[in-house]
């Protein structure tokens, strides 16, 4: 049964890859970038320049999704389509195939934005981004269509859970939030240790912990600032963020700690700079 589904998925990918004219190819590659590295630009944009509370929620949901997706991928350990079928053309990508992390993340990120904005036209844009990002993963030969559909499903379930319980959790007093966050991170860390997960899992836990702690005290209001100040914030913040991203791998290479500890600590530092230190600096600098 599973073999026949994957065989159909491989045939779907091969048929999809027949449409390789430049504008279509460029468009789908852009949406794959937007659903991956693009979060390094979109999450800070919301966090620093639009709405700090929404930005922190998005950061928390993205890190939670990364954790869940990686744990499930490592559990199933399904190879990517191009590794199985030589007919499939692909630039290649590391990691396992099922479910699609891009599809899961894009459903959570753009779905939450659509819920926040609440405008029909914007919801239509978000649905188009979700669909094209998922389609791009099969087009590039790195995911079966079933990987994409299940990724969308998991992302939708995450949003549904947030819709049911998120507002109640956000209304908790700070002390209760802190205890709940520490308990949740401890349980997820124990599960990761039990499953023998990769450094990425521990990195998402580190960033999620810091993002959750930063959300306990929200004072920044970037929406009240001029577009010029927001532009300066964004440009300066992005420059610092990429400088940090260049330094962290060198620290990891120098460190003698286990990769899981490195992943947790370094991503916690990254999250603290993005969600805590830079917003604090912007306020001090009156930006």
pLDDT tens by residue, 105-117: 999 999 999 999 9
Closest alpha carbon to 100 in 129, 44, 142: 142
pLDDT at residue 197 in the model: 74
Given a cut of 80, whether residue 219 has pLDDT beyond it is: no
Give the global pTM. Answer: 0.91
User: Residue 266: inside a domain, yes or no?
Assistant: yes
Residues in the chain: 287
User: Residue 85: inside a domain, yes or no?
Assistant: no
Q: How confident is the model at residue 91 (pLDDT cuts 50, 70, 90)?
A: confident
What's the whole-number average pLDDT of the chain? 89
Contact call for residues 130 and 152 (beta carbons, < 8 A)? yes
Contact call for residues 55 and 43 (beta carbons, < 8 A)? yes
User: Residue 31: inside a domain, yes or no?
Assistant: yes
Given a cut of 70, whether residue 244 has pLDDT beyond it is: yes
Q: How far apart are CA 143 and CA 157, in angstroms?
A: 20
Torsion of CA 83, 87, 92, 95, to 10 degrees: -30
pLDDT at residue 231 in the model: 92
Q: How confident is the model at residue 35 (pLDDT cuts 50, 70, 90)?
A: very high
Mean pLDDT, rounded, for 67-73: 92
pLDDT at residue 166 in the model: 81
pLDDT at residue 218 in the model: 67
User: Residue 263: inside a domain, yes or no?
Assistant: yes
pLDDT at residue 250 in the model: 87
User: Residue 70: inside a domain, yes or no?
Assistant: yes
Mean pLDDT, rounded, for 131-144: 95
Contact call for residues 115 and 163 (beta carbons, < 8 A)? yes
Instruction: Read off the pLDDT of residues 144-181 as tens digits, 9 standing for 90 and up.
Output: 999 999 999 999 999 999 888 888 777 777 788 788 88
User: Residue 89: inside a domain, yes or no?
Assistant: no
Given a cut of 80, whether residue 57 has pLDDT beyond it is: yes
Mean pLDDT, rounded, for 223-245: 91
Mean pLDDT, rounded, for 225-251: 91
User: Residue 87: inside a domain, yes or no?
Assistant: no
What is the number of domains present in the chain? 1
Domain that holds residue 138: 2-78+94-284
Q: How far apart are CA 260 and CA 180, in angstroms?
A: 23
User: Residue 251: inside a domain, yes or no?
Assistant: yes
Closest alpha carbon to 93 in 84, 83, 103: 83
% helix / strand / coil in the chain, to the nearest 5?
A: 80, 0, 20
Which residue has better confidence, 123 or 226?
Answer: 123
Mean pLDDT, rounded, for 260-280: 89
Given a cut of 90, whether residue 11 has pLDDT beyond it is: no
- DSSP assignment, residue 257? S
* CA–CA distances in Å: residue 132 to residues 25, 64, 183, 254, 274: 12, 23, 37, 40, 28
């Amino acid at each position: 049964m599973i073999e026949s589904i994957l065989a159909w998925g491989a045939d779907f990918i091969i048929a999809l890859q027949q449409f390789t004219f430049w504008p279509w190819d460029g468009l789908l590659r852009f949406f794959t970038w937007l659903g991956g590295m693009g979060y390094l630009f979109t999450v800070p944009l919301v966090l620093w320049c639009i709405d700090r509370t929404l930005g922190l929620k998005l950061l928390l949901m993205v890190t939670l999704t990364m954790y869940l997706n990686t744990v499930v991928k490592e559990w199933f350990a399904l190879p990517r389509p191009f590794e199985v079928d030589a007919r499939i053309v692909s630039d290649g990508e590391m990691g396992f195939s099922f479910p699609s992390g891009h599809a899961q993340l894009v459903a959570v990120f753009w779905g939450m934005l659509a819920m926040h904005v609440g405008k029909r036209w914007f919801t239509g844009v978000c649905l188009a981004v979700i669909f094209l990002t998922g389609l791009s993963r099969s087009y590039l030969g790195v995911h079966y269509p079933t990987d994409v559909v299940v990724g969308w499903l998991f992302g939708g379930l995450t949003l549904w859970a947030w819709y049911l319980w998120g507002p109640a959790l956000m209304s908790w007093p700070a002390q209760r939030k802190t205890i709940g966050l520490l308990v949740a991170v401890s349980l997820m860390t124990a599960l990761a240790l039990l499953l023998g997960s990769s450094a990425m899992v521990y990195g998402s836990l580190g960033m999620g912990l810091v993002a959750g702690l930063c959300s306990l005290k929200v004072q920044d209001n970037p929406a009240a600032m001029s577009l010029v100040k927001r532009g300066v914030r964004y440009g300066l913040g992005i420059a610092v963020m990429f400088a940090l991203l260049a330094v962290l791998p060198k620290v990891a290479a120098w460190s003698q700690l286990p990769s899981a500890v490195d992943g947790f600590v370094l991503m916690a530092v990254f999250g603290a700079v993005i969600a805590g230190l830079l917003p604090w600096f912007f306020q001090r600098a009156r930006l």
